Amino acid sequence: MRLDLILASIALVFAVLAGPAGAAEERIEIATRQGVTQPFYLTKPAGSAAATLILFTGGNGALRNYGPPDIRHGNFLVRSRELFLDQGFNVAVVDLPSDAPNGLGGTRLSKAHQTDIAAVIAYLRQLKAPIWLVGTSMGTISAANGGTLQTGGPDGIVLTSSIISAGGQNTGRVADVGPEKVKVPTLFVHNRDDACRFCSYGDVPELMSRFTGAPRKELITFEGGDPTRSDPCEALSRHGYIGLEPKVVAAIGAWIKGK
């Protein structure tokens, strides 16, 4: 879709929530593909932003029980968005597109999903800040897919708890996007103690080696965290950096800012 058509599409604001740190959080919906709209939630810090982060949740991509951030539950990125805001970032949290009300399933690898991501990037360029795609767990497939855009892509990507081994529902893995096509800085974040069978820490170096076109790449490792309160592949575990959220967000923020 041409940039001028994307920017000319009508942004429908459906709701304003009590967002992070008292900021107004808008639900925006933009036209992407024919007959399809892509919603996302946007929060902006006071003053100029260091960058705009587009966050991709894990699982099937649905924002379940979305509301004011609560560090006690929910996806790692979604529950930590206040921390990203405090770092001086614009924060956009992507919801499901209108043609996938039951979840993204295996479409995270698709050209259609990539088109939706490109439309969100184009819309957010009006904020005049670098744009980074940040995904966690299954969301890393989305962030990596968007990172392969050769035109209208992001300025960098962050992959936290990357999906390295394919699951049993044909949902794919990060390596399936064609990592060699990613030409922007790429940060990998992983918990050494991640017990999710699709995200073995020992397999991260091999995945990183596939990102041959990234001009800058690095792995930031964490370990431990609070006691697990969910399945090892769910958010309230070492896979979701339970108890480590401030440290992980601070490290991601510093890397994006080049510190």
Nearest CA to 112 out of 23, 33, 171 is that of: 33
pTM metric for this prediction: 0.90
Q: Is 56 left (phi over 0), alpha (psi -120 to 50) or beta?
A: beta
pLDDT for residue 169: 56
pLDDT band at 7 (very low <50, low <70, confident <90, very high): very low
pLDDT band at 5 (very low <50, low <70, confident <90, very high): very low
Domain borders along the chain are 3-256
* Contact indicator for 87, 250 with CB cutoff of 8 Å: yes
Nearest CA to 6 out of 125, 91, 99 is that of: 125
**How far apart, in whole angstroms, are the C-alpha atoms of residue 139 and residue 221?**
19
Radius of gyration of the chain (CA): 17
Residue environment code for 103-126, b if the CB has 16+ CB neighbours within 10 A, otherwise e: ebebbbbeeebbbbbbbbbbbbbe
* Contact indicator for 173, 141 with CB cutoff of 8 Å: yes
Q: Which amino acid is at 3?
A: L
Return the DSSP state at 128.
-
pLDDT for residue 4: 46
Dihedral angle sign, alpha carbons of residues 103, 107, 108, 114: negative
Would you call 190 helix, strand, or coil by DSSP? strand
What's domain 3-256's architecture?
A: 3-Layer(aba) Sandwich (3.40)
pLDDT for residue 165: 86
Nearest CA to 162 out of 130, 205, 132 is that of: 205
Ranked by mean pLDDT, the top range of 63-77, 128-142, 227-241 is 128-142
The end-to-end CA distance of the chain, in Å, is 35
pLDDT band at 251 (very low <50, low <70, confident <90, very high): very high
Concatenating the DSSP letter of every residue in 132-178 gives EEEEETTHHHHHHHHHT-SSS--SEEEEES---S--TTS---GGGG-
Stretch 4-12: mean pLDDT: 42
pLDDT for residue 18: 45
pLDDT in tens, 127-180: 999 999 999 999 999 999 999 999 999 999 999 999 998 765 567 899 999 999
Would you call 232 helix, strand, or coil by DSSP? coil
